[in-house]
A and B are shown apart, each in its own frame.
Chain A
Amino acid sequence: MQDLLLYCTNGLLLGVIYALSALGVSLIVGIMNVINFSHGELYVLAGYFSALFARALGLPVLAGAGLAVAVVFLFGLLVERTLIRNTYGNDMASLIITFVLSIVLQNAYLLIFGPYPQKPPNWVDGSTRLFGLFYYGNQRLAALGAGAVVIAVLFLVVKKTWFGKTVRAVAQDREMAAMVGVNPDGVNMLSFALGCALAAAAGVILAPIFPVTPTVSVGVSLTAFIVVVLGGMGSLGGCVIGGLILGLVQNLGSAYVSSGYKHFFGFFILLLVLTVRPTGLFGRKQL
């Protein structure tokens, strides 16, 4: 019982972060119909930056994290402008470009940051007794909280603000939105960068717990894709549910079946969903 609750708590934590990271992919798919294969690399980049800002520049750790997200956001703007913009309408081209970019970034990280894991300092220390059953790291609880807050803010932005309305309009009907005066290029650039920033947010939140290396990015990207497919391409609500499901399944699966097969369960879900219900659990394109 105690174990089960622990696994569920872990699953919940990972689920929230999976959801957060997948929201980045989903946003970009929904609006631009582009799958960002370098998603995981941006997560890792933010992890490195937050470690760098905190340790080398001596910034407070949260400020470092915020700065890291901002830097990745800018990087996203740059990537969209230089590489993605020319490929609109050609799904295959953007797929190939972002895949190549992911390999380039992985190898660049290896060169710059080395192969060894790096982590920013913990935000908080100590642990708390949960349900009167087990002690749980405060850093993990903080990560859970931070992830939930970022997701909530994102939903507010998409549902309530002018930017959100514009984005939803473009996702639904690009030509129509252009006719009523929305600049689709600007929206694309902004949403691509926002998608990258969400990957970065997931990165800075998880990096103190799971240190980053140049190659963890692959797992991060794949996990995000699984969640996006599970929840339905472009559906933000679906992402959250999908993330939670995947987090729980992975943790329970690796605890009770086999830890070597931890990621296998995710892929299995992906294949299953794609075969049985390719629109995902909640349909597609409902921003």
Chain B
Amino acid sequence: MTANLSPSLWRRWRGLLITLAAALLLPFVVGLLEGQPPTAVLANSAGVSKFVQGLAIEVFIFALYALSYDLIFGITGLLSFGHAMFFAVGAYLTGALIKSFGLPLWQTLIWVTFASVLQALLFSVVLPRVKGITFALVTLGMASVFHLMIMSRELGEFTGADVGLQGMIKPDFLNPATERLRLYYVALALLVTMYYLFKRFVDSPTGRVCVAIRENEGRALMLGYNTFRFKLAALLLSSFAAALAGALYAIYQPIISPHIASLGFTVTALLIILIGGVGTLQGALVGALVYRLLDFGLRRYMGESASFVNGLIYVLIVIFLPYGIVGTWRMKSLQLRQGWAKIGDAIPWKPNDGAAR
């Protein structure tokens, strides 16, 4: 049993560890490819590496945001159309508190955490009363109210209304212009930490019940689970992650655009996990990478027709990879393994490697 443990642990985590190593080395590798010495990369001098770091930070923000949506939609089965609010509250609160109230970043983050709890509680109020598409519409309503508030002239002093929140003084040690490499690693560390936390949550007794709720809530109730509490737990964790992603967005982007509070931005989260694979967690990471790079690449090389081609690619992905990239990959590799196991059973001298159970 113990001898079995370490290889299977390695097998379980190797993909992520390799990805993590690649992400850690990325700024320097890109720098070297351009002929920039590591010292120049460390000094945040302008170049391809700095540009790629910026793009990667955006991918990390999208990944964290989509991850938070996967927890409530993909894992727990709650269809929310108001998820953009979870993100936008984090972003706008960070922007407004730093810009208009001059709070330091750490105090701002405490307020963001507090707000993330409040908004999860707000969504949970309607949970026992509405299910399925009705929950989606009620959450859409709540998020729309928030969107209107941000766009309103009355709050424009703090939110910048329809032009967006601009002119926030970035915290010195995370300034995206002068300290981008550090911001890159902070964003990476945040994403990795939250991903690990989510993974732990999904594997825990609590997370297993969330999956059961997605599968058959009536049965979960009959088993004796007060399903409301588990949905609330998922909402809280999801809201916290989304608000942190929003705070990161506020720190990185020069303008906090009001579109991040719109329905379109919720659909972005949905799209990312559809591309990557709903309910897989990893799918959020893969999906965010594909989503951001496709958008960037197409805009750069196709100009006007970018969004058309973009849409076409998404349609093709949904048709040919109905379980997303990660979901389809997992299913195919499982089928392959089962296939090999069957062949192995037919061979009388099969090696005793424990693969065929």
The answer to whether A and B interact is: no
Residues of B within 8 A of A (CB): none
Q: Which positions in A face B, CB cutoff 8 Å?
A: none
